[in-house]
Amino acid sequence: MPLPKAELHLHIEGTLEPELAFELAVRNGVALPYEDTEALRAAYRFDGLQSFLDLYYALTAVLRTEQDFADLANAYLARAAAQGVRHAEIFFDPQAHLARGVPMGTVVEGLWRALGRSEENHGVSTRLIMCFLRDESAGSALRTLDEAKPYLHRITGVGLDSAEAGHPPVKFRAVYEAAAALGLRRVAHAGEEGPPAYITEALDVLGVERVDHGLRCMEDPELVARLVRERIPLTLCPLSNVRLRAVDALAGHPLPAMLDAGLLCTVNSDDPAYFGGYAGDNFDAVRRELGLSEERLRELARNSFLASFLEDDEDRRARCLAEVEAYEF
């Protein structure tokens, strides 16, 4: 039985496996510029975030109907459950779909067909986090939040993703203020490719409660001290960091140093279909390559539930935490 864990950094569009991409392409009459799943998999070689994002956005073309989004989410939830995920806070990128003429309602209600029954079908509780694309304008983010208003009962929080360099958090001050006023939780990608100053800005200007990646905080000891002091969780994605060249090799990943520094780290899969593994695969990889002890792995699992947005279901959090403590490796 795998270690119970929560997954807090997972882009649902990044769970599109080649087999499902081709199935949906046929279903929707969309032509993919790849001969077959093998040829598509062979394209999964990236020299950084942008080269990955180009393929990630191109493949969203196959997602058109509510059922497509439901099938995508169900496939993820089944795989995640098999790897010990008990709770998943799932990102989606509405602008990537709105731009193709797929309405907000199709995306959210489609995902909800899977998420709304996930606890009974997969044993996984879920939350939905709507991300703004930081390489789009601040006005586009505000319009997206507006379009989401009829669906806010399905959405727990907002996030910020896509190409980081040159798109500082401050650009999204207004939309984060509006999101906070609507009662939404706030997270943002920062310090993946961007500098440590973006992490500070995400905290101070956007009021984020959790930092996605946050890897580059290690370049700024004062920032590390602050993140430790304020118990700000970081959602690290080790296999993603290797595939997108944020680190040279997993063996050189700063996760052990981050844990030693007292940071509240979690381990997640980011875009598992593209980066070679789901949540459990990431845990296995850091155990193998970084020699993490069983108690360190337990700490990562414990952190994942502590950092989750389960304030509206503290019973579930407590049950999951008890499972982590009782787990026998």
Residues that bind ligand ADE (CB under 6 A): 11, 14, 49, 56, 161-162, 189, 192, 240, 270-271
In DSSP terms, which residues pair with 266 in a beta bridge? 235
**Which residue is it, tokens 């996760």?**
255
Tell me the closest approach of the beta carbon of residue 91 to Zn ion, in angstroms.
7
Please identify, using beta-carbon distances, which residue of 12 and 223 lies nearer to ligand ADE: 12
In angstroms, rounded to a whole number, what is the distance separating the alpha carbons of residues 232 and 220? 15
In angstroms, rounded to a whole number, what is the distance separating the alpha carbons of residues 111 and 71? 8
Q: Are 305 and 235 contacting, i.e. CB atoms less than 8 angstroms apart? A: no
* Binding segment (CB under 5 A) for Zn ion, from list 26-34, 67-75, 250-258, 265-273: 265-273
Binder of residue 14, out of ligand ADE, Zn ion, none (CB less than 5 to 8 A by kind): ligand ADE
Query: Alpha helices, DSSP H only, in the chain?
Result: 18-28, 37-42, 49-59, 66-82, 94-98, 104-115, 118-122, 138-148, 173-181, 196-204, 221-229, 238-243, 255-260, 272-275, 279-290, 294-306, 314-326
Which positions from 225 to 264 touch Zn ion by CB under 5 A, shown as an x/- string?
A: ----------------------------------------
Tell me the closest approach of the beta carbon of residue 57 to ligand ADE, in angstroms.
9
Binder of residue 156, out of ligand ADE, Zn ion, none (CB less than 5 to 8 A by kind): none
Given 7, 13, 17, 192, which residue is catalytic?
192
- Three-state SS string over 194-250 comes to CCHHHHHHHHHCCCCCEEEECHHHHHCHHHHHHHHHCCCEEEECHHHHHHCCCCCCH
Active site includes 192? yes
Our finding on whether 71 is near Zn ion (CB under 5 A) is no
Tell me the closest approach of the beta carbon of residue 11 to Zn ion, in angstroms.
6
Tell me the closest approach of the beta carbon of residue 189 to ligand ADE, in angstroms.
5
Please identify, using beta-carbon distances, which residue of 122 and 243 lies nearer to Zn ion: 243
SS3 state at 132: strand
Binder of residue 89, out of Zn ion, ligand ADE, none (CB less than 5 to 8 A by kind): none
Among 270, 285, 300, 317, binds Zn ion (CB under 5 A): 270
In DSSP terms, which residues pair with 264 in a beta bridge? 233
Using CB atoms within 10 A of its CB, is residue 314 exposed (0-12), middle (13-18) or buried (19+)?
Answer: exposed
Binder of residue 49, out of Zn ion, ligand ADE, none (CB less than 5 to 8 A by kind): ligand ADE
**Which residue is it, tokens 């046929």?**
26
Eight-class DSSP state of 153: G
Tell me the closest approach of the beta carbon of residue 60 to ligand ADE, in angstroms.
11
Please identify, using beta-carbon distances, which residue of 75 and 324 lies nearer to ligand ADE: 75
Please give the positions annotated as active site. 192
- Name the residues that contact Zn ion, by CB under 5 A: 270
